[in-house]
């Protein structure tokens, strides 16, 4: 799985070793490690383009039920944000988003794989959505640290990323409520009526 590979690369190149969870500047030098991290950011961007193409394939296959505002906004937004990071900040503090995101997507793609070979994974769906919501909370929390630490990473990224993650948390929370909580309430009330 390419996503899992990206996750292990982010750990190996940065987050397991030298990167500070408080505040990490971008290394704009031409050292082999800095170039490797920038290349990893570029590959992550390509991965987000691939995720975005998922939406286009849903439209082409006329699976409109899969194309929600949440789906389109999330995948389009990730592609745009990742491009900005690759272009202007290829490394540093924002790579934490890629670390967490590739971890979550590794679990999602494992779910898809197991479901495709007819292993009943329906109970995982709810927990995957919960994991995605936790991801947005952790990333927003991670970026708040830029307000009180000074390492050279631009603070404007926090002003942009935190509201974005809060909005994603609201969208995923709404999806979670409508898909799992409301559905369970409807089933329970139906059973009580019988």
Residues annotated as catalytic are: 74
In this structure, what token pair is assigned to residue 65?
Answer: 């039920």
* CA-atom Rg of the chain in angstroms: 19
Report the alpha-carbon distance of residue 73 to residue 155 in Å, rounded.
24
Answer for the pair 128, 108: CB distance below 8 angstroms, yes or no. Answer: yes
Element (H, E) at 140: helix 122-144
Neighbours of 17 (CB within 10 A): 9
Neighbours of 168 (CB within 10 A): 22
Residue of 81, 73, 110 whose CA lies nearest to 98: 81
Element (H, E) at 86: helix 69-88
Report the alpha-carbon distance of residue 72 to residue 170 in Å, rounded.
15
């Amino acid at each position: 799985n390419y996503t899992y590979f990206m996750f292990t690369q982010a750990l190996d190149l940065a987050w397991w070793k030298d990167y500070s969870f408080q505040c990490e500047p971008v290394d704009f030098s031409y050292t082999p490690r800095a170039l490797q991290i920038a290349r990893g950011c570029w590959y992550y961007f390509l991965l987000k383009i691939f995720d975005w193409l998922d939406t286009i394939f849903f439209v082409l296959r006329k699976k409109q039920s899969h194309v929600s505002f949440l789906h389109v906004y999330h995948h389009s937004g990730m592609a745009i944000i990742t491009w900005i990071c690759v272009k202007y900040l290829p490394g540093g503090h924002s790579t934490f988003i890629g670390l967490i995101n590739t971890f979550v997507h590794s679990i999602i793609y494992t779910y898809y794989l197991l479901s495709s070979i007819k292993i009943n994974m329906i109970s995982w769906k709810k927990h995957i959505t919960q994991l995605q919501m936790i991801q947005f909370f952790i990333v927003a929390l991670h970026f708040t640290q830029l307000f009180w630490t000074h390492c050279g990473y631009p603070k404007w990224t926090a002003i942009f990323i935190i509201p974005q993650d809060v909005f994603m948390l609201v969208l995923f929370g709404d999806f979670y409520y409508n898909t799992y909580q409301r559905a369970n309430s409807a089933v329970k009330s139906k059973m009580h009526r019988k």
